[in-house]
Amino acid sequence: MWAQMGNGLHGHLDWANAQNSPLTCELERLYDWAALYGVPILLATAASGDVLATGNIGGQLLTDTLARGSNGLDYTVLATTDLIAGNTPVTVRCTTKGAAGNLAAGMTLTLIDPVANVNSTLTVDVDGITGGADDELEADWRARVADEWQTVTTTGARSGKPADYRFWAKSAHPSVTGALVQLHTLGIGTVVVRPVCNGLLDRLPTAAVLDAVSADLAVIAPATADWRVTAPIVHPVTLTIHLPPAVDTAQNRVDIQAALDVLVLGKGGTDAGVLELLWAEIDTAIAVITSQYTLDESGGTITWLAYEIPVLQPINWI
């Protein structure tokens, strides 16, 4: 009994000690830390965008008209729209929050109830229906809380340093995983913020993400700051690899592509200068899958500039 009591006492002390840091505390206490430092968890967002409607001129799609996508989710019309000749853009928003609501250009929605003078099929416009994201992962939220805790306790409040803009961008939308911040590129005192979204196509922010970051910066950035929010430039990384017949299997190709995707996603941009992807890093990633391969390095050094992000293209297999 004495041993059991001692074990329980020390176990409680270990638990209490863990609650003293947002890095180790339980989820319930993490909410307390987040409230204390003003870092709420990012909740899921609803996808929105334009679809193209056709029908007789003068036909109307009223506000709150519902259409259903091929993903089984419903989308509501945000504002009454009168049809014109040809395709008429209509803004819609998914009624269910989350990444599942995103739709690529060219996909279709079908009106749930027929509308007079309006064709039932709506086509997603060129920019897609975007901006939908799931709730922020606990690990990502914990990292943001710890980042703010460390900043406040070491350097004080955020005042507009490059690291501050990166933090603010990541706090504006769940899709943002980082940001490139360039100072004085458009003149003395200017700040260009380029959000990076590793989970989206080509790591690029959609219009909805850019709008969310801009909206947050308008509230939190220093009043005298001259900032802009725009997308990074994609730097394509194309690799050519030869596998001997003995190891040239579909699974090896998939595994090598995945390993190199992880490697390239781990590479970001820089606020200034040039970054490089070393051939030795590529060799190391491939060697985990197989040591029997030939990597074509004739293209020279792989580098990219501060405003660019590397994006791995489909591998050329020879």
Say if residues 52 and 108 touch (Cβ distance below 8 Å): no
pLDDT at 178 over 80: yes
Q: How sure is the predictor about 10, in pLDDT bands with cuts at 50, 70 and 90?
A: low
Write down the pTM of the prediction: 0.82
Q: How sure is the predictor about 7, in pLDDT bands with cuts at 50, 70 and 90?
A: low
State the sign of the Cα–Cα–Cα–Cα dihedral 216, 221, 223, 229: negative
Three-state secondary-structure class, residue 137:
coil
Q: What percent of the chain has pLDDT over 90?
A: 80
Q: How sure is the predictor about 12, in pLDDT bands with cuts at 50, 70 and 90?
A: low
Q: How many angstroms separate the CA atoms of 149 and 238, rounded?
A: 40
pLDDT at 273 over 80: no
Beta strands 48-53; 121-130: pairing state: antiparallel
pLDDT at 11 over 90: no
Mean pLDDT of the region 85-112: 96
pLDDT at 128 over 70: yes
Mean pLDDT of the region 144-167: 90
Span of 19-23, 176-180, 187-191 with lowest mean pLDDT: 19-23
Q: How sure is the predictor about 187, in pLDDT bands with cuts at 50, 70 and 90?
A: very high
Paired residues of 150 in beta bridges: none
pLDDT at 4 over 80: no
Q: What's the pLDDT at 18?
A: 81
Task: Measure Cα distances from 149 to 13, 24, 152, 218 in Å.
Answer: 23, 13, 5, 23
Average pLDDT, the chain: 92
pLDDT at 206 over 90: yes
Question: What's the per-residue H, E or C state across 6-71?
Answer: HHHHHHHHHHHHHCCCCCCCCHHHHHHHHHHHCCCCCCCECCEEEEEECECCCCEECCCCEEEECC
Beta strands 88-94; 48-53: pairing state: antiparallel
Say if residues 204 and 269 touch (Cβ distance below 8 Å): no
Span of 17-21, 40-44, 133-137, 145-149 with lowest mean pLDDT: 17-21
